């Protein structure tokens, strides 16, 4: 299955892309995608404990199981207002 | 065109538009309200000793809008007689520009004041919005709170500040 990954703010700068496509095995979770990305872009690892994640524009936990076509987003600590 | 109660986008912000949107949404109950409290957040020219030149805001827009809706629901639960309007701006903002506008309307001022303060505290906690600061000598992403809408301690802290 294939998912789209969205990266924001400094995560996007580190990866050098705001959107990535990833092919995953069935049963993969948000955490699976995160670990894969952190392996690919070591600069992301420092965010391990401070990121939030979302699936299809709703907040979701790292153990959330993904489905084909999902949009996964990784969000560094926020600073709106 | 009617102004939505909740919005995020590159357009400049005007409190009058939020007040008008609340007025329009009040319907036949409009006469029962006795207070509108508004908040306008501005881009300032200094931050922790740095001379700020301008800011760039970015957002995960669909989730940001849902976060505003969630804040509205939380306010309904805590202050049932308050109605909320909240607009956030994104893109490049110059010193003095408004980045966020909030209006809370209620029969009585106490709840309107509290809900308005609560809304800005919750935006800073859970809305997926980021500011990049461009200052004399460089630029950096500002990173505040880890967004977790289910964190009840954060919610309680926002409520404590709102009611202080």
As a whole number, mean pLDDT of residues B107-130 equals 98
CB-CB neighbours of B39 under 10 Å: 19
What does the mean pLDDT of chain B come to? 96
**What's residue B83's pLDDT?**
96
Q: How far is CA A65 from CA A59, A70, A71, B161, in A?
A: 13, 10, 12, 37
To the question of domain A2-75 being in CATH 3.10.20.30, the answer is yes
**What's residue B127's pLDDT?**
98
A54 and B CB contact within 8 Å: yes
Q: Is the pLDDT of residue B1 over 70?
A: no
User: What is the spatial distance between Cα B58 and Cα B86, in angstroms, rounded to a whole number?
Assistant: 17
| Domain spans in chain B, listed from the N-terminal domain onward | 6-162
What tokens were used for A25?
A: 């095995």
**Nearest Cα to Cα of residue B70 among B135, B119, B140:** B119
To the question of domain B6-162 being in CATH 3.40.50.620, the answer is no
As a whole number, mean pLDDT of residues B96-109 equals 97
**What's residue A53's pLDDT?**
98
Which chain B residues are Cβ-neighbours of A77 within 8 angstroms?
143-147
R_g over Cα of chain A: 12
What tokens were used for B34?
A: 């006795």
Pick the residue from chain B with its C-alpha nearest to A53.
B147
- Please judge whether A80 and B141 are an interchain contact, meaning their C-beta atoms are less than 8 angstroms apart: no
User: What is the spatial distance between Cα A33 and Cα B121, in angstroms, rounded to a whole number?
Assistant: 31
Question: Which DSSP helix (H) or strand (E) runs through A55?
Answer: strand A52-55
What does the mean pLDDT of chain A come to? 97
As a whole number, mean pLDDT of residues B24-47 equals 92
**What's residue B26's pLDDT?**
84
User: What is the spatial distance between Cα A15 and Cα A79, in angstroms, rounded to a whole number?
Assistant: 20
| Domain spans in chain A, listed from the N-terminal domain onward | 2-75
Q: What percent of chain B has pLDDT over 90?
A: 93
> What are the mean pLDDT values of chain A's consecutive 10-residue runs (81 residues total)?
98 98 97 97 96 98 98 98 97
pTM of the entire structure? 0.97
**What's residue B103's pLDDT?**
98
- Please judge whether A76 and B144 are an interchain contact, meaning their C-beta atoms are less than 8 angstroms apart: no
User: What is the spatial distance between Cα A19 and Cα A16, in angstroms, rounded to a whole number?
Assistant: 9
Eight-class DSSP state of A64: P
Residue B27: band (very low, low, confident or very high) from pLDDT cuts 50, 70, 90: confident
């Amino acid at each position: 299955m294939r998912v789209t990954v969205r990266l924001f703010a400094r995560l996007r700068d580190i990866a050098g892309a705001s959107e990535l496509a990833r092919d995953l095995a069935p049963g993969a979770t948000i955490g699976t995608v995160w670990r894969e990305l952190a392996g690919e872009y070591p600069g992301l690892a420092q965010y391990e404990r401070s990121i939030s994640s979302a699936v299809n524009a709703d907040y979701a936990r790292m153990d959330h199981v993904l489905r084909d076509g999902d949009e996964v987003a990784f969000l560094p600590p926020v600073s709106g207002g | 065109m009617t102004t939505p109660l909740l919005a995020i986008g590159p357009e400049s912000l005007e409190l009058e538009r939020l007040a008008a949107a609340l007025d329009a949404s009040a319907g036949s109950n409009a006469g029962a309200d006795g207070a509108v409290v508004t908040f306008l957040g501005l881009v300032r020219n200094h931050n922790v000793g740095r001379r700020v030149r301008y800011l760039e805001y970015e957002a995960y827009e669909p989730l940001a809008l849902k976060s505003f809706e969630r804040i509205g629901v939380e306010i309904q639960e805590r202050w049932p007689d308050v109605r909320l309007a909240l607009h956030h701006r994104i893109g490049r903002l110059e010193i003095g520009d408004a980045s966020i506008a909030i209006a809370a309307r209620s029969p009585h001022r106490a709840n309107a004041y509290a809900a308005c303060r609560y809304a800005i505290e919750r935006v800073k906690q859970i809305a997926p919005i980021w500011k990049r600061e461009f200052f004399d000598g460089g630029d950096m992403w500002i990173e505040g709170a880890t967004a977790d809408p289910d964190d009840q301690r954060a919610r309680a802290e926002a409520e404590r500040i709102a009611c202080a």
